[in-house]
Structure 1
Amino acid sequence: MTEQTLILLVDDEPDDPAAAADALEGERDRFRVAAETAADGALDRLADGDVDCVVSGRELADADGLTFLDAVRDADPTVPFLLFTGEGSEAVASAAVARGVSEYVPKALDGDQYAALAERIENAVEDHGSAGDELERYRTAVETLPEGVVTLDGEERIEVVNGPAAELLGRDRTELRGEPVDVLVDEGVLDEAALDAFRDAAESGTASTGSGVLKRGPEVPASGDDALPVEAVIAPRGSEQERSGATIVVRDATPHEERKRDLERRNDRLETVIDIVSHDLRNSLNLALNRLELVRREADPASEHLSKVERALDRSGRIIEDALRFARESRTDGDTEPVELDAFAARCWRQVETNGASLRVGDLPAVEADPTRLRYVFANLYRNAVEHGGEDVTVRVRPLDGQDGFCVEDDGPGIPEAEREDVFEPGHTTAEDGFGFGLTIVAEIVDAHGWTVAASGAPGGGARFEITGIDAVTD
């Protein structure tokens, strides 16, 4: 009797999981497939101890495929794990290899995708258990990646250098094998601080990111025209209980550096335009106000027409100030640092005119953010709460339940549901003397950080602004 192979298929695709399991079982008589849609259920199934291979999609019902891979590696460092997805990218493939995936298998756009998957499963199961075969399989996967990858053994010596990494380094890959990882610091690929951080965090399995300047040869100075900016991500391989080395993904950072310089040039030009426009507009406005005062002396000072002109000029002045504030505050230069949100939120409150309103701050995480711009987010949300909720409003800043984010909410009158999608649009306001820039600034800065902001209702009917997609910074 042919020995059966138990495959744990974990995916949250809209297709029927049972149908996918049947299709895969139909490829080999010895295949038996257990289908799950969520990571928790799959881990419980894996704990039974009879699973020969895990096949996972990129998105599961309760986690993503890479997070599930980490959990599987902690539970069983050696079981074959295939990431099978139709939403692949170079970054996902690199991250999967760095975390110890056995195979990265893109779903075919045509043909029989399960036939290809079955072949990969067979190979993975047959190779399972042999350290030499595991390294060879890992080497094959590394060689197929378009990004530069360097792998290290348990003693931090270079095992594998793929073609793109060798080309980036300008070195023969055979010369690098067996060299200590410190040679990559000497070459300018790894930042020494990033390498130290990796060593400190290796026990917890935390990846470390570094950047450097690749000198492209021993005679080329780091500041020369031939120098190349690079970024590297170094991550431990294996489980917390048994580290088997590390993987380094190296990227040419030139496009990122060029975008950064372009952003700086654009910001400088914008600042120049803002200064010129503000100077000319203010001068013209001041001239109009002075002329108005002269007219008052020569005409009836109580004239209704003159009062209307004065109010119009005053409103124009406030529009100019708000527009200039929007242009300056919505800029994000990209200089970020860890920010302790709870202390930061309280500090921002003290910098805003809040009258008799009160603030309550929950236990918030630290995040990587631009503190100068983040201050405008809190300040504008606080002003919005006080302006619409009154002097006795209570504002709460607290983490969101079950999400990577936080909210700023109040016990004021709230925002009508029909208007919640419009509140971030420029010019949207319900205040008689408002101009509708405050929440637009919030949305611009949040988006520039890679986060998302949404308006909703707070318990009791107040307004709530939820900011999600943040990555908490851990020590």
Structure 2
Amino acid sequence: MSADRSTVNVLHVDDDPQLSELASKMLAAESDRIVTETVESADEALDRLEPGAFDCVVSDYEMPRMDGIEFLRAVRARDRSLPFILFTGKGSEEVASEAISAGVTEYLQKRGGRDTYAILAHRIENAVDAHRASTRAENRQRRLEQILKTVPGGVVQLDRDGQIVLANDRAEEVLDLSTPAFDSGAEGDSARRSDDTDGDPVVDEDLPVDRVVESGAPVYGVRRTIDWPNGTRTVLRVNGAPVFDGAGDVESVVFSLTDVTDHLDQRRELASVQSRLEALVGNLPVVLFGVDEDGVFTLSEGQGLDALAVDPGEVVGRRVADVYDHPDIHRDLERALDGQSVEGRYTIDEAVFDVVYRPVEGSSVGTVVVGVARDVTEQRRREVELRRSRQQYQALVDNFPNGGVFLFDADLRYTLAGGEGLSDVGLSSADFEGKRPNDLFPADIAAELEDAYRAALDGETRVFEQSYQGGHYRVRVVPVGGDDSPTDVGLAVSEDITERREQRQALRRQNERLEEFVDVLSHDLRNPLNVATGRLTLAREECDSEHLDDIDTALDRCLELISDLLTFAQEGTATIDTEPVSLPAVVDECWQTVETGDATLSVDAAGRIVADESRLKQVFENLIRNAVDHGDPGVEIVVEALPDGFAVTDDGPGIPADRRDNVFEAGYSTATGGTGFGLSIVQRIADSHGWSITVTEGGAGGARFEVTGVESA
């Protein structure tokens, strides 16, 4: 427990008065600091939550009128930091995720027994102590910031690593704190340096921050020179003093800054600009050239002729005709010398170049033609590949049923479009050619398409759904040329799933009604069972009877059956949301969450499949748990890829052939204490994805579950 023994006032919200009474007694027994007040609704709790009245709120999730998440959001609207613990009998990833997003401090599931309330008491004290410590630190920081802001000179506070903790307005102005200007002078930091008062460089170990931290003594008169990325320079005179922590160690350093900037010499600045310009021109991916009236190169800069192994600078002073023996070049240069603007494309040694010539009249330096030469060999190759792609996809585009097929280029313009579904929305193939999505579709649809198209050009596959003109479409966008590598061409396939979606929505509504019934049933059963578990704990403290252990076992069995029954029912009603999922990553995560003891796992699978990730995890968790529960302690489990799915095999006792048809029945189990719902849940998840699951005998005589009909991503 914390060394701070001050009272912790807790407001406990639960619509079940028996559970509230039990919680108050348990918390009082666990901690003499905790004082609990209880209310039965979130509305009543909000009326009681005056500022400073309570140090922590503990709330149930399922309550009438306002559930625990809605109550949490209402509390957060008043106080962003008041500790709030969601203490609920409804445990699920969805509820936990919602609670975390809403700003919950802790999330704890009710399970009955003293251990649960010991954990709850510990988390209450930790949350309150942390909140109080944070509040004290924030108050100290605000006071220090207020003092620094009133100082007229520039003041900054740096931590031991040389990072700025805070700065007053003048320091922000002087240092332009869009990026940190002061640091510990790490090796290689050429943008900033330290000089002493004579202008001599300060070596790394004598930098102001390091000197103060190491010696604990102030420094005075250090000159700090800052060279900004825009080419300007600021010179500061720096005085620094240490700030000590409670143990007497240097916690941070406070510097005062005085701007003593001198203007740089104008000629040096011009020389620096000229040097950068020459470096830029010399590394351009094209060649800038000039030719005089005699056809002699007077200028050649850049790196655009690598394919010819020609150094542009070496051709200056030589005739163009002597360097390039190409009749088309000679012809176009003569036309440019006659005053015409000319553009040409030439093939030299299997490389392709685009060249632009522009005449210059009245030049004083003797150059009468300037131009740009650019290597377009790779671009030309891509153009040829694009034409081939168009031919390959044309047959698919012309005959694609129930939707459309589209090719697009690096500018997101359609180069090919077709399919029987185009006429359903009043468009034709000709309407698409040369257009972008925002030329054809509403802004929201176009934005989503263009985002997916850009991703495909970067090598990424996207799958999503869109509604347009009363129809609903599943869109798959892929790069042409393979995933994970940039490309200039992408492919989009749009499938009309309107009828399928309507059927799915009708099923979802039916499932929602069933799920509401299951939730109510689960809640109404769990509450009295939790009360019974708590009362059993109290009864053990008052008497000793052999019947109490049997009651405890029966209560645990009831809770386990309720949990499995709820999961089984929900898998029959839940909708799926598929996306590309890494199969090895899901298997590895499930292996970490299931109690596997001495069992071993090997995975012979790679790549991604299209699945609902949450449901897929339930498949592997149940298959792994089934192998562990029915096998020896050291059972070996293998997950391997199939051409259209995956398989999970173990070397356990296996399943007799005459019982394999029964293993997927709800409630069927051969393991002691098993509920018999695990494999039924697996089959329901497979059915909801449109997969098939079968059980056979593995190579070592154990059980082998094969899931097929799975789509690869």
- What is the TM-score with the length of structure 2 in the denominator? 0.37
Kept after mapping to 1: 8 A contact 2:404/2:417: no
Within the alignment, does 1:459 sit opposite 2:713 as a pair? no
Aligned counterpart for 1:258 among listed residues 470, 487, 502? 502
Task: Tell me how far apart the structure 2 counterparts of residues 276 and 251 of structure 1 sit (CA, whole Å).
Answer: 39
Letter in 2 for 1:100: A
Q: Does 1:406 align with 2:628?
A: no
1:435 aligned onto 2:690? no
Q: Please list the CA deviations of residues 42-76 of structure 1 after superposition, one character each: whole Å capped at 9, or x if unmatched.
A: xxxxxxxxxxxxxxxxxxxxxxxxxxxxxxxxxxx
- CA drift of 1:275 comes to 2.6
User: 1:460/1:248 Cα in 2 relative to 1: closer, same or farther (>3 Å)?
Assistant: closer
Instruction: Check the 8 A contact 1:98/1:246 in 2, yes or no.
Output: no
1:230 aligns with 2:473: yes
Deviations 1:374-401 (A, max 9, x none): 111111111111111122111111223x
1:121-200 alignment runs, 5 A limit: 147=402, 149=404, 156-157=414-415, 165-169=422-426, 171=427, 173=428, 176=431, 180=435, 182=437, 186=441, 188=445, 191-196=449-454
Q: How far, CA to CA, are the matches of 1:99 and 1:290 in structure 2? A: 71
* Partner residue in 1 for 2:525: 281
Q: In structure 2, what is the Cα distance between the partners aligned to 1:253 and 1:175?
A: 24
Amino acid at match of 2:517: V
Determine helix, strand or coil for the equivalent of 2:704.
strand
Q: Confirm whether residue 100 of structure 1 aligns to residue 358 of structure 2.
A: no
How far apart are the structure 2 equivalents of 1:289 and 1:234?
Answer: 54
Please, which of 370, 382, 398 is the counterpart of residue 624 of structure 2? Answer: 382
CA drift at 1:338? 2.0
Which has the higher relative contact order, 1 or 2, with Cα contacts under 8 A spaced 6 or more apart?
A: 1
1:425 to 633, 643, 665: 665
Alignment counterpart, residue 445 of structure 1, candidates 685, 689, 698: 685
- What SS class does the counterpart of residue 425 from structure 1 fall into? coil
SS of match in other structure, 1:392: coil
- Residues 152 and 262 of structure 1: is their aligned pair in 2 closer, same or farther, counting only changes over 3 Å? same
Write out per-residue CA displacement over residues 278-316 of structure 1, whole angstroms, 9 at most, x where no aligned residue.
12112344566789999999999457xx88777555533
- The aligned counterpart of 2:607 is 365
Contact preservation (8 Å) 2:668, 2:675 = yes
Ranges in structure 1 where 5+ consecutive residues have no aligned partner: 1-76, 78-96, 102-137, 217-226, 238-244
CA contact (8 A) 1:331 1:373 kept: no
Matched-pair contact (CA < 8 Å) for 1:338–1:369: yes
**311-320 or 391-400, which deviates more:** 311-320
| C-alpha contact 1:158 1:181 (8 A) present in aligned 2 | no
CA distance in 2, matches of 1:208, 1:156: 18
What is the DSSP-based 3-state SS (H/G/I as helix, E as strand, rest coil) of the residue aligned with 1:454? strand
2-side partners of 1:333 and 1:180: how far apart?
Answer: 37
Cα pair distance change 1:269/1:160, threshold 3 Å: closer
SS in structure 2 of the partner of residue 406 of structure 1: strand
Amino acid at match of 1:191: L
Instruction: Confirm or deny: 8 A CA contact 1:408 1:464 kept in the other structure.
Output: yes
CA RMSD of aligned residues (A): 4.7
Within 5 A, what are the aligned runs for 1:316-355? 316-328=558-570, 332-355=574-597
Please give the secondary structure, in 2, of the residue aligned with 1:461.
Answer: coil
User: Any stretches of 5+ residues in structure 2 without a counterpart?
Assistant: 1-387, 481-488
CA distance in 2, matches of 1:236, 1:301: 70
Structure 2 partner of 1:212: 466
Q: Is the 8 A contact 2:457 2:479 kept in 1?
A: no
Distance 2:624 2:479 in 1: 43
The 5 Å alignment of 1:56-71 reads none
Aligned residues: 312
SS of 2:594's equivalent?
Answer: coil
Amino acid at match of 2:626: N
- 1:73-88 alignment runs, 5 A limit: none
**Structure 2 CA distance for partners of 1:271 and 1:460, relative to 1, 3 Å:** same
Query: Residues of 2 paired with 1:381 and 1:185: CA distance?
Result: 49
Contact 1:332 1:373 in 2 (8 A): no
Change (3 A) 1:291 1:427: same
What amino acid is aligned across from residue 371 of structure 1 in structure 2?
E
| Percent of residue pairs identical | 37
Q: Shift of the alpha carbon at 1:274?
A: 2.8
Does 1:415 find its partner at 2:674? no
TM-score by length of 1: 0.53
**Alpha-carbon distance in structure 1 between the residues aligned to 2:498 and 2:555:** 49
Which protein shows a greater Rg?
2
SS in structure 1 opposite 2:395? coil
Cα pair 1:429 1:436 within 8 Å, conserved: yes
Distance 1:152 1:435 in 2: 53
The CA distance in 1 between the partners of 2:477 and 2:580, in whole Å, is 20
Secondary structure at 1:424 match in 2:
coil
Question: Aligned letter for 1:441?
Answer: I
| Structure with the larger strand share | 2
